Amino acid sequence: MLHGNLYIQGTGDPKLISEELIDLVNKIHKQQGITALHGDLVLNKQWFDKFTIDFPDFDNNTDSPYNVGPDPLLYVFKSLSFRLHPSLNNKITINMTPKLA
């Protein structure tokens, strides 16, 4: 059990896929002995300079893969996007784009 925040520093690996994410969670659980978190999950996206992240698209087609800018927390080549919304009752709503069955 971790009493405090768990910090994850993104480094911009575009090949971060679900199997590697599962491996990371298993390492946190098995090697560090963390089975529960009594704190916040803090995702740090400060790996790149701001000007590289906000670089303009080549065109106005923001859904095109070639318009994906560098992101320290890039996941599966940014083919999936997640938005986490905390609520007052200590629950989190996760919205994913595109929506999967």
Question: Which pairing describes strands 37-38 and 2-3: parallel, antiparallel, or unpaired?
Answer: parallel
Q: pLDDT, tens digit, for every residue of 55-91?
A: 666 687 766 767 767 778 877 776 777 788 888 888 8
Cα-Cα-Cα-Cα dihedral of 74, 77, 78, 81, to 10°? Answer: -80
Residue 43 has pLDDT above 80, yes or no: yes
Distant-in-sequence, close-in-space partners of 67: CB < 8 Å, separation ≥ 6: 57, 58, 59, 61
Residue 32 has pLDDT above 80, yes or no: yes
CA dist., res. 21 & res. 27, Å (int): 10
